[in-house]
Amino acid sequence: MTRASQEHDHDPNRRRLLRRAATVAATTAGAGVAAAVGLPGTAQAAPGDNLVMGTTNDAGPATTTLNGAYPTLTLKNSAGAPLRLVPGDSIYPQVLDAPVGTLAVDNQGDLFVRAGTAGQETNGWAWTTEWATTSVAVRPTRVLDTRDVNLRRNIVSGSLDSLGRVQPGAPIVLALDSYVRDGYALKGNVTVVGMTGAGVLTVWGAGTKPATSTVNWSAAGTVLSNFLFTELGATGAYRSVITIQATASPTHVIVDMTSLLVGHPSQVLAPQA
C-alpha cells in the first residue's frame, strides 16, 4: 500500500536518518543497548514510500487510496471479528454473504454493517439521525383539554366556540415546541366529549387536511378515545405542531402525549418516563 500526496518530500538526509536508526536498532538489540537508540515516535514516510508496520504512520494532509477492481481492506483481530472495508457497489450480494465485521458505504453515503456472531449473522444500516428515528417514551402529559382554559395554552392558530369546543370545519393548530425540538411524530391518546351529535375528528401534522378520520362517533353525549400516532408538522415559527379539525358536530377534545418520535433523544424536552 502506498501513500499519495500533492507534495514530494524526498529529502535524502531525512531518509538516511530513518534507515540508519532502524539499522542500529536491529543490530544492537542483542547487545542490550536497544533502549539507547532514539527511534522516531512517528514514522514519517514520504509520499510514495512504503508504510512501516509496527509504527504509527503519519500521512499528514495526504490521502491514501486503495485501487483495484473490487479492493477490500481487512484489519485482522486475533481476539474477534476482523474489520473489512469493501466498496459500496458490492453490497449486493457480496456483503450479505460476507464475514462478520464487514462495512460498506452505499451510493447514498449510508453505512451498511454485517454484524452478529457465527451462525447468527445480521445485516443492517448503521443508525444515523439523518434518516432513522427513535421513539422516546415521555411521562404521560395532557397537552390539550378544550374544557380547561389553562390546557388551551398550546393552541396557536384557530378558534373555539363560546363553550371552548372545536367547531366543525374550523381547524385548530397545537404547538408542541415546548416538549420537543423539530419532532417527527407524536404518540398518545385523543378523546372527544361534549359533542352535540354525530361527527368525525381528524388529527394530522400540518398542511391540507387528509381525507381520513381519527375518531368517529354516532350520537351526542358520547365519551370516546382512540390511540393517536400522527406526524408533527411545521407552520410559521412553530416546528412541531398537530392540526385538529371536527366535522358535522362541535366537540371538546383532549390530547394526552405518551411518546415522541425523533431523530435523536436530545430533541425531547418533555420529562421522560
Asked if residue 146 is part of any domain, the answer here is yes
pLDDT value at residue 35: 39
CATH classification of the domain holding 240? 2.60.120
Asked if residue 53 is part of any domain, the answer here is yes
CA distances from 205 to 71, 208, 239 (A): 47, 9, 10
* Residue 140 preceded by cis peptide, ω within 30: no
pLDDT value at residue 11: 45
pLDDT value at residue 44: 56
Q: pLDDT-derived band of residue 39, with 50, 70 and 90 as boundaries?
A: very low
- Residue 254 is placed in which grid cell? 383532549
* Residues 117, 44 share a domain: no
* Residues 240, 138 share a domain: yes
Asked if residue 250 is part of any domain, the answer here is yes
* Residues 259, 171 share a domain: yes
pLDDT at 271 over 50: yes
* Residues 239, 179 share a domain: yes
Where does a domain end: 103, 126, 149?
126
pLDDT at 213 over 60: yes
* Residues 14, 91 share a domain: no
Residue type for 119, please? G
Q: Tens digit of pLDDT for each residue in 125-163?
A: 787 777 788 999 999 999 999 999 999 999 999 999 999
pLDDT at 19 over 50: no
* Residues 109, 54 share a domain: no
78 vs 162 pLDDT, higher one = 162
Asked if residue 76 is part of any domain, the answer here is yes
* Residues 116, 142 share a domain: no
pLDDT value at residue 70: 63
Asked if residue 51 is part of any domain, the answer here is yes
Q: Tens digit of pLDDT for each residue in 139-148?
A: 999 999 999 9
* Residues 70, 53 share a domain: no
- For 35-70, give one letter per residue: b (16+ CB within 10 A) or e: eebeeeeebbbbbebeeeeeeebeeeebeeeeeeee
Q: Tens digit of pLDDT for each residue in 216-255?
A: 999 999 999 999 999 999 999 999 999 999 999 999 999 9
Domain that holds residue 95: 66-126
* Residues 252, 223 share a domain: yes
pLDDT at 27 over 60: no
* Residues 8, 91 share a domain: no
Lowest mean pLDDT among 2-11, 39-48, 84-93, 170-179: 2-11
Asked if residue 272 is part of any domain, the answer here is no
pLDDT value at residue 8: 39
- When divided into structural domains, the chain yields a total of 3
Asked if residue 230 is part of any domain, the answer here is yes
Asked if residue 109 is part of any domain, the answer here is yes
* Residues 178, 222 share a domain: yes
pLDDT at 32 over 80: no
